[in-house]
Amino acid sequence: FLRYYSTKSTDEPTSLKDYVTRMPEKQKFIYYITGQSRQAVESSPFLEVLKRKGYEVLYMVDPIDEYAVQQLKDFEGKELKSITKEGLEFEDDEDEKKKFDEQKKELEPLCATMKEILGDKVEKVVVTDMLSESPCVILTGQFGWSANMERIMQSQALRDSGGMSSYMASKRTLGLHPTHPIIRALKAKVAADKNDKTVRDLSNLLYEATLLASGFTLDDPSQFSSRINRMVMLGLSLDDEEAAPAESDAPALEEVTESNMEEID
């Protein structure tokens, strides 16, 4: 029998049958999240709203789970639903839906600007209602690989570098939390001047940090490190010249060589 730890079963694994018996009446799906380890998925931003709404999420952290859920589509009439993919919707009341629609319209300029900045790194930038604490999250397409499956395939020694791999690779969607202070501040900066260099730097930094939080790996870690270093310099009120390493007082190699030669003579 398949058994998993979950947001509501932290001490011992639970079965799908037990999960279904605990489901609230209005819950339609069996929610799960895949990841590299239990520790990684327990701190995932994808869990924020689901936990707040009282929905249980299964932790699938064994590589075989990625293959198993491709075959196990449902259990006792309840469809298994990955919370890291697009298309996750909740039954909100009319007031909440209306408010969310207003937030999406309000953030359209920011979404368009960030998509322009990030280019082909993301398929689109949208407003999401999946978050309550994090500023943003990376969602994948319903029919492509999850972030965890992409990591598993990249680690394969004989992986296909093209063909199926390129077709199934995650189509990334950047989802923004509409009421988060970072998103609100970024919206204000875009409204003031969307060509501001700070907007570009912050958009890239936010995207790369969100990639890591969402279970992906960075394509260019050195570039991310450089951005972090610039943010640290900004926090310490340092400019580029002050941050540069001081020149060594040691004599040049040629001087040392000449001096040593004279001593030998």
pLDDT at res. 253: 43
Round to whole Å and give the CA distance between 261 and 229: 43
**CA dihedral over 178, 182, 183, 187, signed as positive or negative:** positive
- Residue whose structure tokens are 């309840």: 78
SS (H, E, C) the chain: CCEEEECCCCCCCEEHHHHHHHCCCCCCEEEEEECCCHHHHHCCHHHHHHHHHCCCEEEECCHHHHHHHHHCCEECCEEEEECCECCCCCCCCHHHHHHHHHHHHHCHHHHHHHHHHHHHHCCEEEECCCCCCCCEEEEECCCCCCHHHHHHHHCCCCCCCCCHHHHHCCCCEEEECCCCHHHHHHHHHHHHCCCCHHHHHHHHHHHHHHHHHCCCCCCCHHHHHHHHHHHHHHHCCCCHHHHCCCCCCCCCHHHHHHHHHHHHC
pLDDT at res. 140: 92
Q: CA-CA distances (angstroms) from residue 59 to 38, 83, 180?
A: 7, 11, 27
What does each of the 265 residues of the chain score in pLDDT, given as a tens digit? Answer: 689 999 999 999 999 999 999 999 889 999 999 999 999 999 999 999 999 999 999 999 998 998 898 888 899 999 999 999 998 888 777 888 899 999 999 999 999 999 999 999 999 999 999 999 999 999 998 888 888 888 888 777 555 555 555 556 668 999 999 999 999 999 999 999 989 988 999 999 999 999 999 999 888 899 899 988 988 888 898 876 665 555 544 444 444 444 454 444 4
Tokens of 146: 């999850």
Round to whole Å and give the CA distance between 237 and 226: 16
To 5 degrees, how large is the angle CA 207–CA 146–CA 105? 50
Round to whole Å and give the CA distance between 22 and 54: 11
- Residue whose structure tokens are 């700070």: 198
Tokens of 205: 């930094």
Round to whole Å and give the CA distance between 152 and 11: 27
The pTM is what?
Answer: 0.82
